[in-house]
A and B are shown apart, each in its own frame.
Chain A
Amino acid sequence: FAYFYGKPRWVRGSRKTPMTLTYAFSPSNMIDYLSSSDIRAVFRRAFCRWESVIPVNFTETGNYQSANIRIGFYRGDHGDGEPFDGVLGVLAHAFSPENGRLHLDAAETWTINFKSDKSKVAVDLESVATHEIGHVLGLAHTSVKEAVMYPSLSPRTRKVDLKIDDVKGVQALYGSNPNFKFSSLLALENSFNQA
């Protein structure tokens, strides 16, 4: 795992209570072929994965402007100096702490279900959301291919489960969720490797 220069992280409230970060979706920059409830459910699951390993709570809010993490789908040059490039190429980007912007390329064929979406260029929204939330929390790209924070993702590929590399990286920034057990993650990875 790797961090951004200066190892930035979110700092909120006291260290004794779990930190709460709010997130919201742009009211004007969304895609219309996936329902709002499906997109919200995908991000809820993606946030839950990180929430399960660190003492941070993620709560959705309707107030986009004041949310800590602001999510939107944008096309081409969208004003942050990092224009999107159309189908495939760059899929998404996010800013390091404590900026909170998480942008997805609206030109991609985002999918939540490969069984119903037969497009060759379909990209799994949940995989990319999970990766970008890692950046929002302060993780940079890793060289571990299996990890969520690996920089590339092929179309029609799903990679949503945090690997030991992801977990160790984020826990070094925020500490461990008291309910998280490394042994269960190790067992899961071992069973996957054996299979």
Chain B
Amino acid sequence: PCFPARTPPGLSTVINVDAHNSTWQDFVRFLHAGKGSHVSGMSELKRYFNRFGYLPIPGTDFNDIFDTKFESAVVLYQKNLGLPVTGKLDTDTISAIMSPRCGMSDDASHALHRTRH
């Protein structure tokens, strides 16, 4: 008699689906980056910092260089979020950056402040 093919237990495949946040999960690659470093894609992190009130919009596009302005932004972010102030993208800072959060800017003057019409 023909029986349906059966997969021996040892050969079964387990697929782990990482259901975590895809929006900012990629920022983990900037871990331990410090002033002067050039990491491809860091402009995205600068856009994040701009969105939440830590970096002004530059005259041209954001670049991938960890410059002095970005270091100041990291320090301000660490102070505002009650993190150890190192000026570096250390574990605590990257972890905080990747955490889900409220969409309001941390710079109160840039918040969604509109009159009702």
Contacts and interface: CB of A to CB of B under 8 A. Distances in A.
Given A82-B103, A93-B104, A152-B100, 18 more contacts: A5-B108, A87-B23, A88-B23, A88-B100, A89-B21, A92-B103, A93-B102, A95-B112, A96-B112, A96-B113, A121-B20, A121-B21, A131-B102, A143-B82, A145-B82, A151-B106, A152-B99, A153-B99
Interface in B71-117: 79-82, 96, 99-104, 106, 108-109, 111-116
A85 B23 contact: yes
B102 A143 contact: no
Interface of B: 19-24, 52, 79-82, 96, 99-104, 106, 108-109, 111-116
Interface in A59-116: 80, 82, 84-96, 98-100
A46 to B, nearest CB: 14
B109 A5 contact: yes
A174 B106 CA distance: 22
Nearest to A89: B23
Contacts of B81: 143, 145, 150-152
A29 interface: no
Nearest to B99: A152
A5 B111 contact: yes
A124 to B, nearest CB: 11
* Chain B binding surface, main DSSP class: loop
Contacts of A119: 19
B101 A91 contact: yes
A153 B108 contact: no
Nearest to B18: A120
Contact of A143 (B21, B52, B79): B79
A2 B108 CA distance: 8
Interface string A163-175: 0000000000000
A144 interface: yes
Most chain-A CB neighbours within 10 Å: which of B20, B81, B103?
B103
Nearest to B25: A88
A131 B102 CA distance: 8
B97 to A, nearest CB: 9
Contacts of A82: 103, 112
Given A4-B109, A88-B21, A99-B116, A94 B104 contact: yes
A90 B21 contact: no
A25 B82 CA distance: 34
Contacts of B21: 87-89, 121
Nearest to A132: B102
Contacts of B79: 143
A82 B51 CA distance: 10
Nearest to A154: B99
